[in-house]
Amino acid sequence: DFKGEAPLLIKIAAGLTTGALGIMVASPTDLVKVRMQSEGKLAPGVPRKYPSALAAYGIIGGGRGRAVERRWAQHCAQRLDQCRGAGLL
């Protein structure tokens, strides 16, 4: 039963947590979008690697999960740098 305003450290931790969770959802989604858009430029008759968006998640996450992990880590590092630059850390 907390009353009053939350301490600054709690607010920063909450912001970092929600940012990380947002990146965990948005980064793989963006990767799937970019990969599927690049397939749209293939010549007619060339077989598609991703039959649907859901299949793309499975294929990318299953065989090439490292790409998703690397991209997620880059996004987290960028957000931490922004916090440091703003003097929050």
User: Tens digits of per-residue pLDDT, 21-65?
Assistant: 888 788 788 888 888 888 888 888 888 888 888 888 888 777 655
Instruction: Specify whether the CB–CB gap between 4 and 41 falls below 8 A.
Output: no
Instruction: Specify whether the CB–CB gap between 58 and 68 falls below 8 A.
Output: no
**What are the tokens at 73?**
């880590």
The answer to whether the pTM exceeds 0.75 is no
Please give the average per-residue pLDDT across 4-17, as a whole number: 86
pLDDT score for 66: 63
**Interatomic CA distance for residues 14 and 17, integer angstroms:** 5
pLDDT score for 75: 72
Report the length, in residues, of the chain.
Answer: 89
